[in-house]
Chains A and B, each alone.
Chain A
Amino acid sequence: MSNAEAVAKKFRERDIFGRWLLSFPALFVIFIAAVGPLFVMLLYSFMVKGDYGDVKYWQFSGDGWFSVFFQRDIFDDTVSVADAHLLILWRSIRLAAMTTVLTLFFGFPTAYFIATRPEGKRELWLFLITIPFWTNILIRTFAIQETIRNEGVFNTVLMKLGIISSPIQIMFTDTAVLLGMVYVYLPLMVLPVYASLEKLDFRLVEAGYDLYAPRLQVLWRIILPLTKPGIIAGSILVFIPAIGAYVTPRVLGGGKNMMLGNLIELQFGQGRNWPLGAALSITLMIIVTVALLFYVRNASKSGAGHGH
């Protein structure tokens, strides 16, 4: 082996070692913070529940998973579908989907507005959009409660104006939860959509106008397909936390309008059924994964995406 080769080999070896060292933070995060806890949850979901919470370690049973979908009558042991769970599941999916659609509906024009401001002024608008982030989500949610409750600003003003004679019940309805979630998650839609609108070549928009496309057609045929990556990213960023939302349904929905997050919390708290809680958590993850796969595949098919 020549000297040069030996040096090269040494460098290669050091290089490989160095690369592993540099990957350490990433590997740490992936295994300790993501895969690990997931594995623990999976394990818990198959164990026997403890009498006062926790689980009986290394005693396995399918009870946790069974009770996600079915319930056993306490008296006669008959098995029936756990419709309370399914109802909550369905509500979670529905509210999360509606939140995504509504944030897109309000967020897209907002992002478009910001992206079409003169270059130096966009930062200010973006900054304004992110202001609510500075406040704790609980406080923001209580602020909404103050606004929409029966004695709140909204109802008081309407009644003073004589538009309604008795307050509209908004609190503790799905509408309240939806309103709260749209408000809280709106910036998560605006920011990624803005990012792709900002990259949009507005000469393409002019080309659209030039080729006889009126405004709506330009939006539909040119702007939307070209900003799809941002729309997909925004939808994902909104849908995932929305379907697992905890604070908003708790404060605005009350006990009757639970979502999955609240149900899971219940199992780890008062319910003392950790295996069920763990199984529900994993169910939630599966729903999210399936929904995302479905959504991303459809989104990229319909617009026929564009290559790079």
Chain B
Amino acid sequence: MASVASAIDARGVSKVFRGAGQDEVRALDHVSVAIRENEFFTLLGPSGCGKTTLLRLIAGFDFPTEGEILLYGDDIAMLPPYKRPVNTVFQNYALFPHMTVAQNIGFGLEMLGKPKDEIAGRVAEMLRLVRMEELKDRRTSQISGGQQQRVALARALAPRPKVLLLDEPLSALDYKLRKDMQIELKRLQHETGITFIFVTHDQEEALTMSDRIAVMSKGRILQIGSPRDIYERPAERFVANFIGETNMLKGKLGKVSKDLADVTLHAGPKLKATVPETLPASGEVTVVIRPEHARIAPGGKTAGLLKGELENIVFFGTDTHFHVKLNDGSPFIVRQQNASSEAPGLSIGSQVSIAVAENSARVLKD
């Protein structure tokens, strides 16, 4: 970490928008994040959490109120956008409507003063990369949303930026196209070796595509980590809730040894849960259990298991969700794959017991 400079290093960056009168919006609140070279880094968070604002500060459209932003070790906070080796794929693509596809892609190179034949060569290469060769002379108003998306990508990649910023580039596409583009994006990132900073509020998209994810809420970064980290070891309630479906159970913290703790759930059994570095102070804690880490069985006899009443069964194609109301009244969801032959013969309203996989429970920080 010490010797190699990060591609982007934001240090204590805050952004305050001042509206008319007294009201001000703190869109970013002391955000610090180091993004490595060649990384597919995702900013994930709900609407209004400051994702676009952070991208705009990196791109140079806005200036931070506080803090600094380094690009490979150099402070760029005061550099105008046209002097930053950073390009953006805008949320609405922002293609130039008065230019053709090829002219759009070549625009950045032209502005950099590259010779004509070099521009032509690179535009052709980019058209190939995003598979848009046949449409190069079309107006951007005459191509579909997915095609526009690819032109926007090609346009931003053509000048070979050090960092590519993508602001929810897939949100306007339908489900199928979106899946295709996700794969395409990964391929492009791999082939070009450019650092991608990707913004989304779709947790599934973030999990499948990213090397690392930063989960944001209300202008702050709550947790940074690999998809697996974030999913399996959420540090806070917000993260656990935001990423994937989850069960939260209250319990009493018992003996803690290293990174495992005994927790006695109010719903009954005692289990071992992994703990974050900073433990909650009080004995009252919340434990998260992912639905797929639990198994459901008929009957309420077996000791040491969660027990409750089966309220609903939802079929999802690849798996089935069982909605259970535990004995202490709290809801619990179990997800089981349909492929497994052990399709439990369960009926709604029957008593069930739930087993939780070992060490899959996690104590939350708050």
Residue positions of A touching B, CB distance < 8 A: 201, 203-204, 206-214, 217, 221-222, 225-226, 303-308
Contact = CB atoms under 8 A, between A and B. Distances in A.
B98 interface: yes
10 contacts: A203-B94, A204-B97, A208-B96, A214-B111, A222-B96, A226-B97, A304-B98, A305-B98, A307-B141, A308-B141
A225 B94 contact: no
B162 to A, nearest CB: 13
B107 interface: yes
Given A210-B87, A214-B82, A306 B59 contact: no
Contacts of B83: 212
Contact of B108 (A201, A211, A303, A308): A211
B1 interface: no
Counting chain B CB atoms within 10 Å of each CB, the highest count among A209, A213, A225, A305 belongs to A209
Contacts of A225: 98
Nearest to A120: B20
A303 B103 CA distance: 13
Contact of B107 (A206, A213, A306, A307): A213
B interface bracket (residues with beta carbon within 8 Å of A): 20 to 34
B264 to A, nearest CB: 55
Given A206-B61, A209-B80, A211-B159, A307 B94 contact: no
Given A209-B81, A214-B82, A303 B98 contact: yes
B82 A207 contact: no
B90 interface: yes
Contacts of B94: 201, 203-204, 206-207
Contacts of B81: 206, 209-210
B112 interface: yes
B111 A213 contact: yes
B172 to A, nearest CB: 14
A249 to B, nearest CB: 38
Interface of B: 59-61, 80-83, 86-88, 90, 92, 94-98, 107-108, 111-112, 139, 141-142, 155-156, 159
B82 to A, nearest CB: 5
Nearest to B113: A212
Most interface-central of B59, B107, B139, B142 (chain A CB within 10 A)? B107
B141 A211 contact: no
Given A203-B92, A206-B61, A212 B82 contact: yes
A204 B81 CA distance: 13
Contacts of B107: 208, 211, 213, 221
Q: Is the interface of B mostly helix, strand, loop or mixed?
A: mixed
B87 A211 contact: yes
Contact of A204 (B88, B96, B111, B159): B96
B98 A207 contact: no
Contacts of B139: 306-307
B92 to A, nearest CB: 7
Contacts of B92: 203
B148 to A, nearest CB: 13
Contacts of B86: 210
A121 to B, nearest CB: 10
Given A210-B88, A307-B142, A217 B98 contact: no
B82 A213 contact: yes
Contacts of A226: 97-98
A209 B96 contact: no
A211 B61 contact: no
A225 B111 CA distance: 16
B137 to A, nearest CB: 12
Given A204-B94, A207-B94, A211-B111, 11 more contacts: A204-B97, A206-B94, A209-B80, A211-B87, A211-B107, A211-B159, A212-B83, A212-B112, A214-B82, A217-B111, A305-B98
Contacts of A306: 97-98, 139, 141
A212 B159 contact: yes
B91 to A, nearest CB: 9
Contacts of A222: 96
A308 B95 CA distance: 14
Contacts of B96: 204, 207-208, 222
Nearest to A206: B61
Contacts of A307: 139, 141-142
Report, nearest first, the 3 A-B pairs whose CB atoms are least far apart. A211-B108, A212-B111, A207-B94
Contacts of A206: 61, 81, 88, 90, 94
B98 A212 contact: no
Nearest to A204: B94
A203 B61 CA distance: 10
Contact of A212 (B95, B108, B141): B108
A206 B59 CA distance: 10
B98 A210 contact: no
Contacts of B112: 212
A308 B140 CA distance: 11
Contacts of B111: 211-214, 217
Nearest to B92: A203
A304 B82 CA distance: 25
Given A203-B92, A217-B111, A210 B97 contact: no
Contacts of B98: 225-226, 303-306
A200 to B, nearest CB: 11
A211 B158 CA distance: 10
A303 B97 CA distance: 11
